[in-house]
Structure 1
């Protein structure tokens, strides 16, 4: 079972309007396909969930009873390998959708990097809603396709590339994702630990730390708490796209 504590189905966040209508990432999320009237149907089946940092809410292999839309915070996605090792396969951010599962089982685990807020839907209720709305199903297919693209990008990222190229490409990708959510900024938020970055990039934590230090020494970035600030965008892009 997932380790989550549910808020009430009609969350206190609602105020005078529905949570779905006032959601800051609605335009990015799967629910963007719904009109105002349809949002009320979605709002009727949603539970709003606060997840404390480092808490697990999806366990690989468990029955996929729920699906989730991330509205705040960053989620670490990983697989547990047969030899007990962990492989991070990605990071979910506000607007991302989690829980699309084949064979009714979760194919990965997920935990909160920092404090996370989720919209949780019972999968049966969600499936009934989706089946009645073909345009909503199309939106889900778009999200599933996006997940495949991200998986392919990770394979490319950890292919025949140097450590510096991998780290730079990761920073550029994270900046693009944050820009989509919050707008342009020279600061790239990195709430995950260095070991998480290393695991995702197929590097050691020492290599990631040395590479970030080198980029800082070369005045490409400035390392700040839980983030880096871009000092030379052209050089960072050049390294990432080498």
Structure 2
């Protein structure tokens, strides 16, 4: 059951339907929606609500009833989990085309917070499940997405395992670069909408260690720290370091 707080939060950020439909959506070809035909997209659009968040607003909280799914169409979200001892762990970051809420539990296991202005398509879970039952090819696409998320989770386990702090930071930068490339954003400058504390909580390091590792890579002329991100100067050395 949705709380009054959740309902008010959702109403406050819902902005109505976008002027362009699903067929014109700029992330359609990199999301699960790519499996649908034009007519099926019309059906999907009828199920969707377009939601806008300002930076630092919460899309859903850990423990909230998972009554909806969300497709990110703009911006970046931070996915966090509060541990039993009160510490925060950043599970990951959601980018364009990412689908949130595909897991089966009745409640969200993480919180999703906007790092930048964010827009998402919101689908009521029951209606979306009914659509999947009618469209097996959409289900296959969802399975592919789930497999991709499992691979990311396995990579994260490896990242937090036996690697040094420098190797972790190098791997994080390269993994984010690859994710940006997947959505068509390729550049020698890597945008970092997340703060260093977010990176630290994601990699299991302290903010001081993350800052020290980024500074070391900068001094070694492997990267250049610039406002809002880093610029790659020597990708080969960075890749060798990440693969160590």
TM-score by length of structure 1 reads 0.94
Within 5 Å, which residues of 2 pair with 1:1-242?
1=3, 2=6, 3-4=9-10, 5-8=13-16, 11-14=17-20, 18=21, 20-242=22-244
Question: Any stretches of 5+ residues in structure 1 without a counterpart?
Answer: none
Query: What is the CA deviation profile of residues 96-118 of structure 1, one whole-angstrom value per residue up to 9, with x for unaligned ones?
Result: 00012323211211111111110
Distance in 2 of aligned mates of 1:194 and 1:96: 22
Work out whether residues 64 and 101 of structure 1, in 8 Å CA contact, stay in contact via their aligned partners in 2: no
**Partner of 2:64: helix, strand, or coil?**
coil
Q: Please state how far the C-alpha of 1:56 moved relative to its aligned partner.
A: 1.1
The alignment of Structure 1 onto Structure 2 pairs a total of residues equal to: 236
Structure 2: segments with no counterpart, 5+ residues: none
Q: What's the RMSD between the two structures over aligned residues?
A: 1.1
What's the offset of the Cα at 1:61? 1.5
Q: Distance in 2 between matches of 1:191 and 1:115?
A: 11
CA contact (8 A) 1:63 1:105 kept: yes
Tell me, in whole angstroms, the C-alpha distance in 1 between the residues paired with 2:49 and 2:185.
28
Q: Give the TM-score, by structure 2 length.
A: 0.94
Q: Distance in 2 between matches of 1:13 and 1:222?
A: 40
